[in-house]
Structure 1
Amino acid sequence: MCTFFNRIVGKMVRTLNNVSELRQTGFGQPSPRHGLSLLWWFAHDCVKIDSNGRMIAECNPKNGAFGFELFHNRESLLPYTDLLYYEVGNLHKARSLPPYVIEKYTGYSDDSNTDRIIVSFDSRLNKFEKIYVTQHSDQKNFEQNRTYCISTDLLKDIKELSREDFLRGRTNRSEQFSISMPPSVQRRQTNTCLSCKCRCALICCSLLFTAIVGGAIALYLYLKPK
């Protein structure tokens, strides 16, 4: 039953939300693998993110440009969809891919041609519904546990980086700030906040106590027999 269900709907695929998560997967690494250069090219030249967060296609997978070809998803590598899947990145069929993508291709059955991008394409709206990266486990099949969905946030991050910075593992400014803060600094900040809260609470309690005592004294003097 589970096997049949997986065959119908496909399997769950992890979504990557920033450059750090992408680097941690090892996708496109090390050289001569071409996956990172392929993904940088795709983010900069093949997709545009509009104001509604839609991934508008700037190249047409249906016409075979850049070596795009149908991906039939026969092994249920990806979730089921009514849209067609297309793959790109096979350097045996590299049509018009930039030289920096194909420069380390050896022509042999090795890691220089193992990486792919797979997209689900809505031709009616000219947009990519989903974008995935994956790698071959052998000459025919892809690795399920090395297949990831690329979020729009990650695409935006890649668009902000030069190719050199992206290949070196640089992140954008906001991500650098969020991931570079040492735990000790975070603990100091937390402790500082707690200390401020404690001081404020003590001051409030002191003022409240003073007000109560002052009120009691005033009431006593008022009611004291003359």
Structure 2
Amino acid sequence: MRTLHDLSDLRESRFGQPSPRHGLNLLWWFAHECVQIDSNGRMIARCDPENGDFGFCLFHNRERLLPYSNLPYYEVGNLNTTDSLPEYVTEDYTGYLDDSNTDRIIVLFNSRWNRFDSVYVTQHSDPVKFDWNHTYCINPLTRTITPLMKHIRRSRRKEFLRKTLNDSCQITIEEHSRHSQFPSAAQSVKSELNQSESSHSSTEDDSCSKCCKRLMMLLFIFAVLFLLLKLKI
């Protein structure tokens, strides 16, 4: 199994991308909220997978996706079974059988020392099975924290996403952002046209009103002159 050593490895793996996949946000959340690094570089757990915190549940490893261990594996990231993850992780979840709920983090949890001995990222190949070819190790068993985990913990979320999104995904997002501005621009032009038409219509109404007033005044004058002429006769 391939180990992801740094941000470039994570970017090349394409884990958690493209949108609406949530794996990259899930990984950033895990590194910042679930892990504390001790003086020996070990990952101390800030949550309790055995208690089901944040939707953690037992991963049985029946298909031998991960190396055999006497310690239990736990997975997290199933948006169908938890509502305790932050909004930036769940915001693109559709509730349908699509890529918005395909990513998972799996940890080897050592309850005796309250630490994560190893961490893996993976994705579903179908609603039940995980993809062997897209399962990666973030932190190997019995080793200290990897540079990748250090980078994630030192990065702000937006910076982390910018550095790990594949170039093609960034282009897609940027194009989507540009195209999404077109309706607003069109709406703005439409609004200006409507205002112009309204102003033009208002001007026409004012002109008609003035014409009517002048016509009434002329008729009144003609009527007065007619009466005066009739009286003289």
Q: Same fold by TM (over 0.5)?
A: yes
Output the CA distance in 2 between the equivalents of 1:58 and 1:113.
24
Q: Tell me which residue corresponds to 1:85.
A: 73
Look up the SS of the partner of 2:116 in the other structure.
strand
> Which residue of 133, 158, 163 corresponds with 1:164?
158
> Which residue of 12, 29, 50 corresponds with 1:41?
29
Question: Post-superposition shift, 1:95?
Answer: 3.4
CA contact (8 A) 2:45 2:114 kept: yes
CA shift in 2, pair 1:88/1:170, >3 Å: closer
1:34-89 deviations in whole A, cap 9, x for unaligned? 00000000000001121211110011100001100000000000000010000000
> Which residue of 47, 63, 72 corresponds with 2:51?
63
Q: Tell me which residue corresponds to 1:117.
A: 105
> Which residue of 79, 94, 117 corresponds with 1:129?
117
Letter paired with 1:124 = R
Output the CA distance in 1 between the equivalents of 2:93 and 2:118.
27
Output the CA distance in 2 between the equivalents of 1:95 and 1:122.
25
Deviating 4+ runs (over 6 angstroms): none
CA contact (8 A) 2:11 2:164 kept: no
Q: Which runs of 5+ in 1 are unaligned?
A: 1-12, 172-226
Look up the SS of the partner of 2:133 in the other structure.
helix
1:82-105 deviations in whole A, cap 9, x for unaligned? 100000000001231001000000
Output the CA distance in 1 between the equivalents of 2:45 and 2:14.
26
Q: Which runs of 5+ in 2 are unaligned?
A: 140-144, 166-233
Output the CA distance in 1 between the equivalents of 2:16 and 2:57.
20
Look up the SS of the partner of 1:106 in the other structure.
coil
Output the CA distance in 1 between the equivalents of 2:132 and 2:36.
27
Question: Post-superposition shift, 1:170?
Answer: 6.0
Output the CA distance in 1 between the equivalents of 2:58 and 2:105.
12
Output the CA distance in 2 between the equivalents of 1:62 and 1:47.
15
Look up the SS of the partner of 1:27 in the other structure.
coil
Letter paired with 1:100 = Y
Give the TM-score, by structure 1 length: 0.69
Q: Tell me which residue corresponds to 1:107.
A: 95
Percent of pairs with identical residues: 65
User: How many residues align structurally?
Assistant: 159
Q: Does 1:148 align with 2:142?
A: no
Q: Tell me which residue corresponds to 1:22.
A: 10
1:141-177 deviations in whole A, cap 9, x for unaligned? 0011100111322111001110001111169xxxxxx
Output the CA distance in 2 between the equivalents of 1:127 and 1:64.
15
Output the CA distance in 2 between the equivalents of 1:95 and 1:76.
29
CA contact (8 A) 1:65 1:95 kept: no
Output the CA distance in 1 between the equivalents of 2:55 and 2:7.
26
